[in-house]
Homo-oligomer: A and B are copies of this chain.
Amino acid sequence: MDKITPRNLQGIMELLPNDQIVFNGMKDIIRKNFESFGFLPLDQPVLENSAVLLAKAGGDTEKQIYRFNKGDNDICMRFDLTVPLAKYVAMNYENLTFPFRRYQINKVYRGERPQHGRFREFYQCDIDIIGKDFLSLIYDAEIPSIMYNVFKELNIGKFIIFISNRKLLLGLVESLNLKNISAEIFRVIDKFDKIGLENVKLTLIDDYKIATDSVKILTDFIQISGSIDEKINKLKSLKINSDIFHTGLNELQEVVKYMRAFGVPDDYFDINLTIVRGLDYYTGTIYETMLSGFEKLGSICSGGRFDNLAEFYTDKKLPGVGMSIGLTRLFDQLRENDLIKTVKKSISDVVVLPMGEYQTEAIFIANEIRESGLNAEVYFEESKMKSKILYADRNKVPYIIIIGEDEVKNNFVTLKNLSTFEQVQVDIKSAINIIKNN
């Protein structure tokens, strides 16, 4: 028979089992932390009506979408988890309880040109809190505090959650009578990290014809430095003539106060006035997260406050705040930089190896091990002891138990630690304790 060569589409991550165990371990930690803060799970469909999903999309996003017809249906695959959330809240408004706290950890799909570190099918891990008509500012502090807990437990090294508030820059631009080119100014400032201060200045002066004294005010603003409290004090002393600026500053101060209450230490978050977040969508607090020493990876977790989640679907006012982790890309980059330190490397805690005809006895032993809460499997193939041990070792299982004539006659098991090669003959209860205390 002619064979088809098995292969994957480009830009797809498909993991070998040992990597998949690590990936799932990270996903479990994220889920556990989201649930510990009482976020409700959603697991929405991948397939949506195109007219519904694309109510808002346009430009680059629309080009990347997987869209097709089947029967009478014009169908899209979701490209993020936010538009489906908007659809869901608008559809189920009467059946939801507000503030509606939901998480979703699921794949999204984008037909991007494949390139290093970019995927066409990838996990997003989103938390959002959606209010009905209004939403307390304290939630703006809770969201990044949850992400702090996530990244601490993921144990991927030092990170900093940067916060800002879009109202600051908006108010500043307004006070300089530059509101008509605010989008352009935001875009230039957003590039600060890449192009540097001098190029920001030059672009603002040459391309946008902004007066040098206004440029100085703008660049002084984004360069404000010091501790969190020093930055707030410097912002206060700026004497900007704009209500929106002062609203933004008060909000920022409150967010700082409550992030501290939620237990985020000052060396794990900071005010960063160069953050803009491209999307028009955000209207207040904004977040980015950097892995210290690996800033080239870009933000690993971003988000912000928005005024209106679902304006394309409903007249209801639905303000919210949220953040998202791009887990597939993060995992890929952590692995590449050897930054993953996980504890659990195998699924089974022990492989039971029957010798000769002692399969039934091996099954009884495995049953007992599983009843104790451990994961156990029996290797039933008839092969040499060396191959049997290799099986356990390649799957990174820490222990094997051997069941043969001696063991059955004398009612003990032979337990071998595959890292230390230590071997003991003990009763099954002791063996279970040794494995559990490893």
Residues of A within 8 A of B (CB): 1, 3-9, 12-17, 20-21, 23-24, 35-49, 51-52, 55, 66-68, 70-71, 73, 75, 86-88, 90-92, 95-99, 101-102, 107, 109, 111, 113, 120-121, 131, 134-136, 138-139, 142, 257-258, 261-263, 310-315, 347-348, 351, 359-360, 363-364, 367, 370, 374-382, 390-391, 394-395, 397
Contacts and interface: CB of A to CB of B under 8 A. Distances in A.
Nearest to A15: B43
Listed residue (A98, A257, A375) with the most chain B CB atoms within 10 angstroms of its CB: A375
Listed residue (A14, A42, A90) with the most chain B CB atoms within 10 angstroms of its CB: A14
A348 B38 contact: yes
Contacts of A263: 367
A391 B136 CA distance: 15
B46 A121 contact: yes
Contact of A14 (B37, B45, B120): B45
Nearest to A104: B20
Contacts of A390: 97
Given A1-B312, A20-B43, A360-B261, A97 B38 contact: no
23 contacts: A1-B311, A3-B312, A4-B55, A6-B88, A6-B91, A7-B49, A8-B91, A9-B49, A14-B88, A17-B41, A17-B42, A17-B102, A20-B43, A21-B40, A37-B377, A70-B111, A71-B111, A71-B113, A97-B394, A135-B381, A136-B380, A136-B381, A258-B363
Given A20-B40, A258-B360, A382-B136, A121 B7 contact: no
B395 A97 contact: yes
B73 A9 contact: yes
A313 B38 contact: no
A370 to B, nearest CB: 5
Nearest to A97: B394
A43 B71 contact: no
B313 A5 contact: yes
Nearest to A13: B45
A102 B124 CA distance: 24
Given A135-B381, A261-B360, 12 more contacts: A4-B313, A7-B91, A37-B370, A37-B377, A40-B347, A45-B121, A97-B390, A101-B377, A142-B378, A142-B380, A257-B360, A258-B360
A19 to B, nearest CB: 10
Contacts of A6: 52, 86-88, 90-91, 310, 313-314
Contacts of A360: 257-258, 261
Contacts of A113: 71
Contacts of A138: 359, 363, 378, 380
A378 B139 CA distance: 9
Given A7-B52, A380-B138, A382-B136, A121 B36 contact: no
B347 A41 contact: yes
Contacts of A135: 381
Contact of A70 (B40, B46, B66, B134): B66
A313 B21 contact: no
Q: Which 10 A-B pairs have the closest CB atoms?
A: A38-B377, A38-B348, A68-B68, A136-B380, A17-B40, A4-B55, A97-B394, A6-B87, A138-B380, A6-B91
B4 A36 contact: no
B43 A46 contact: no
Contacts of A348: 38
